Structure 1
Amino acid sequence: MNKYRSLYNTTLSLISNLLLVMGCFILCRIVFLAENYNAFTELTGGRLWKMFGGGFMFDTSAILYTNLLYIFLMLLPLHYKEKGIYQKITKGIFVATNLIAIIANLVDTVYFQYTHRRTTASIVSEFKNEDNLGGIFGTELLNHWYLTVLVVLFAYALYKLYRKPPVAKIYNFPLYYLTHVLTLGIGIYLCIGGMRGGFTGMVRPITISNANQYVDRPIETGIVLNTPFSIYRTIGKTPFAVPEYFDREKLEALYTPVHLPADTVQFRPLNVVVFILESFGKENSGFLNEELDNGTYKGFTPFLDSLMAEGLTFKYSFSNGMKSIDGMPSVLSGIPMFIEPFFLTPASLNTISSVGGELKKKGYYTAFFHGADNGSMGFEAFARTVGYTNYFGRTEYNEANPGNKDFDGHWGIWDEKFFQFFADKLSTFQQPFATALFSLSSHHPFAVPTEYEGAFPKGNVAIRQCIGYTDHALKLFFDKVSKEPWFDNTLFVFTADHTNSPERPEYQTECGLFSVPVVFYQHGSNLKGYVKDAIAQQIDIMPTVLSHLGYDAPYISFGCDLLTTSPEDTYAVNYINGVYQFFKGDYLLQFDGKRATGVFAFKTDKLLEHNLLGQLSQQSAMEDELKAIIQQYMTRMNGDGLVVTK
Structure 2
Amino acid sequence: MNIYKERISQIFSPFLSIIINLFLVYICFFVCRLSFLLVNLSYYPDLTASHLLEMFGGGLLFDTSAILYTNALYILLMLFPLHYKETASYQKFIKGLFVVTNAVIIIMNLMDTVYFQYTNRRTTASVFSQFKHEDNLGGIVGIELLHNWYLVLLAALLIVGLYKFYRKPSTAFDSRLWVYYISRTAILAAVVPFCIFGMRGGIGYAVRPITISNANQYVNRPIETAIVLNTPFSIFRTIGKKPFTNPHYFADIAELEQIYTPVHQPADSAKLRKMNVVVLIMESFGKEYFGALNKDLENGQYKGYTPFLDSLVHQSLTFEYSFANGRSSIDGMPSILSGIPKFLESFFLTPASLNNLSSIGSELKKEGYYTAFFHGAQNGSMGFEAYARTVGYTDYFGRTEYNNDADFDGRWAIWDEEFLQFMADKLSTFQQPFSVGLFSASSHHPYVIPDRYKGVFADGPLEIHKCVRYTDNALRLFFEKVSKEPWFKNTLFVITADHTNQTDHPEYQTELGVYSVPIIFYTPNGDLVGHVNSIAQQADIMPTVLGYLGYEKPYVAFGNDLIHTPIDKRYAVSYTNGVYQFVKGNYFMQFDGTKTTAIYDFVNDRLLTKNLKDRIPEQAGMETELKALIQQYMQRMEENRLVVK
TM class, shorter-length: 0.5 to 0.7
Deviations 1:249-275 (A, max 9, x none): 111010000000011111100000000
Q: How does 1:465-480 map to 2 (within 5 A)?
A: 465-480=466-481
The answer as to 2:497 corresponding to 1:506 is no
Deviations 1:329-373 (A, max 9, x none): 000000000000001100000000000010000000000000000
Counterpart for residue 82 of structure 1: none
Contact 2:371 2:392 in 1 (8 A): yes
Task: Label 1:529 to 1:245 Cα distance change in 2 as closer, same or farther (>3 A).
Answer: same
The structural deviation recorded for 1:197 is 5.2
Counterpart for residue 463 of structure 2: 462
Whichever residue aligns with residue 503 of structure 2, its letter is P
SS in 2 for 1:396: helix
Counterpart for residue 224 of structure 1: none
2:454 and 2:607 map into 1 onto residues whose CA distance is 35
1:304 and 1:624 map into 2 onto residues whose CA distance is 38
The structural deviation recorded for 1:196 is 3.9
Deviations 1:220-254 (A, max 9, x none): xxxxxxxxxxxx99943333110111121111010
SS in 1 for 2:293: helix
Counterpart for residue 238 of structure 1: 242
Counterpart for residue 257 of structure 2: 252
Counterpart for residue 415 of structure 2: 414
Counterpart for residue 625 of structure 2: 625
Task: Label 1:297 to 1:198 Cα distance change in 2 as closer, same or farther (>3 A).
Answer: closer
The structural deviation recorded for 1:446 is 0.2
Superposed CA RMSD: 2.1
Task: Label 1:529 to 1:391 Cα distance change in 2 as closer, same or farther (>3 A).
Answer: same
The structural deviation recorded for 1:202 is 8.2
Deviations 1:172-203 (A, max 9, x none): xxxxxxxxxxxxxxxxxxxx99x945643189
1:577 and 1:602 map into 2 onto residues whose CA distance is 20
Whichever residue aligns with residue 587 of structure 1, its letter is Y
Counterpart for residue 65 of structure 2: none
Counterpart for residue 594 of structure 2: 594
SS in 2 for 1:472: helix
Deviations 1:273-321 (A, max 9, x none): 0000000000000011001122111100111111111010001000000
SS in 2 for 1:405: helix
2:500 and 2:138 map into 1 onto residues whose CA distance is 20
2:281 and 2:604 map into 1 onto residues whose CA distance is 29
Counterpart for residue 446 of structure 2: 445
The structural deviation recorded for 1:552 is 0.3
The answer as to 2:394 corresponding to 1:393 is no
Of 268, 271, 275 in structure 1, the residue corresponding to residue 276 of structure 2 is 271
2:573 and 2:310 map into 1 onto residues whose CA distance is 25
1:541 and 1:507 map into 2 onto residues whose CA distance is 22
2:134 and 2:366 map into 1 onto residues whose CA distance is 35
The answer as to 2:303 corresponding to 1:367 is no
1:477 and 1:237 map into 2 onto residues whose CA distance is 44
Task: Label 1:437 to 1:199 Cα distance change in 2 as closer, same or farther (>3 A).
Answer: closer
Contact 1:588 1:602 in 2 (8 A): yes
Contact 1:370 1:439 in 2 (8 A): yes
1:611 and 1:317 map into 2 onto residues whose CA distance is 22
Give ranges in structure 1 of 5+ residues lacking alignment: 1-68, 70-120, 122-191, 205-231
Aligned identity (percent) is 63
The structural deviation recorded for 1:455 is 1.4
1:303 and 1:236 map into 2 onto residues whose CA distance is 46
Contact 1:286 1:298 in 2 (8 A): yes
Contact 2:133 2:381 in 1 (8 A): no
Give ranges in structure 2 of 5+ residues lacking alignment: 1-72, 74-124, 141-235
Task: Label 1:198 to 1:538 Cα distance change in 2 as closer, same or farther (>3 A).
Answer: closer
Counterpart for residue 349 of structure 1: 354
SS in 2 for 1:583: strand
Whichever residue aligns with residue 499 of structure 2, its letter is H
Contact 2:315 2:526 in 1 (8 A): no
1:197 and 1:294 map into 2 onto residues whose CA distance is 45
Of 189, 197, 201 in structure 1, the residue corresponding to residue 137 of structure 2 is 201
Contact 1:234 1:345 in 2 (8 A): no
Whichever residue aligns with residue 430 of structure 1, its letter is Q
Q: How does 1:166-565 map to 2 (within 5 A)?
A: 196=132, 199-201=135-137, 235-246=239-250, 247-398=252-403, 401=404, 404-531=405-532, 533-565=533-565
Q: Normalized against structure 2, the TM-score is what?
A: 0.64
SS in 1 for 2:373: strand
Whichever residue aligns with residue 579 of structure 2, its letter is V
Task: Label 1:376 to 1:591 Cα distance change in 2 as closer, same or farther (>3 A).
Answer: same
Whichever residue aligns with residue 408 of structure 1, its letter is D
Q: How does 1:23-38 map to 2 (within 5 A)?
A: none
Whichever residue aligns with residue 506 of structure 2, its letter is P
Whichever residue aligns with residue 453 of structure 2, its letter is Y
Task: Label 1:455 to 1:302 Cα distance change in 2 as closer, same or farther (>3 A).
Answer: same
1:265 and 1:377 map into 2 onto residues whose CA distance is 37
Contact 2:600 2:608 in 1 (8 A): yes
Contact 1:320 1:538 in 2 (8 A): yes
Contact 1:203 1:376 in 2 (8 A): no
**Bigger CA drift: 298-307 or 366-375?**
298-307
Contact 2:133 2:383 in 1 (8 A): no
**Bigger CA drift: 244-253 or 355-364?**
244-253
The structural deviation recorded for 1:576 is 0.7
Task: Label 1:572 to 1:198 Cα distance change in 2 as closer, same or farther (>3 A).
Answer: closer
1:465 and 1:198 map into 2 onto residues whose CA distance is 25
Deviations 1:561-587 (A, max 9, x none): 000111111110001111100000000
Task: Label 1:202 to 1:536 Cα distance change in 2 as closer, same or farther (>3 A).
Answer: farther
The structural deviation recorded for 1:442 is 0.2
1:458 and 1:203 map into 2 onto residues whose CA distance is 23
Contact 1:202 1:411 in 2 (8 A): no
The structural deviation recorded for 1:405 is 1.2
1:202 and 1:473 map into 2 onto residues whose CA distance is 28
Whichever residue aligns with residue 243 of structure 1, its letter is P
The structural deviation recorded for 1:615 is 0.4
Contact 1:408 1:414 in 2 (8 A): yes
Task: Label 1:199 to 1:427 Cα distance change in 2 as closer, same or farther (>3 A).
Answer: closer
SS in 2 for 1:287: coil
Task: Label 1:234 to 1:607 Cα distance change in 2 as closer, same or farther (>3 A).
Answer: closer
Contact 2:323 2:518 in 1 (8 A): yes
1:491 and 1:565 map into 2 onto residues whose CA distance is 19
Task: Label 1:265 to 1:196 Cα distance change in 2 as closer, same or farther (>3 A).
Answer: closer
Aligned residues: 423
Deviations 1:448-482 (A, max 9, x none): 00000021242111000000100000000000000
2:311 and 2:241 map into 1 onto residues whose CA distance is 42
2:520 and 2:562 map into 1 onto residues whose CA distance is 11
1:471 and 1:239 map into 2 onto residues whose CA distance is 37
SS in 2 for 1:362: coil
Counterpart for residue 214 of structure 1: none
Task: Label 1:198 to 1:499 Cα distance change in 2 as closer, same or farther (>3 A).
Answer: closer
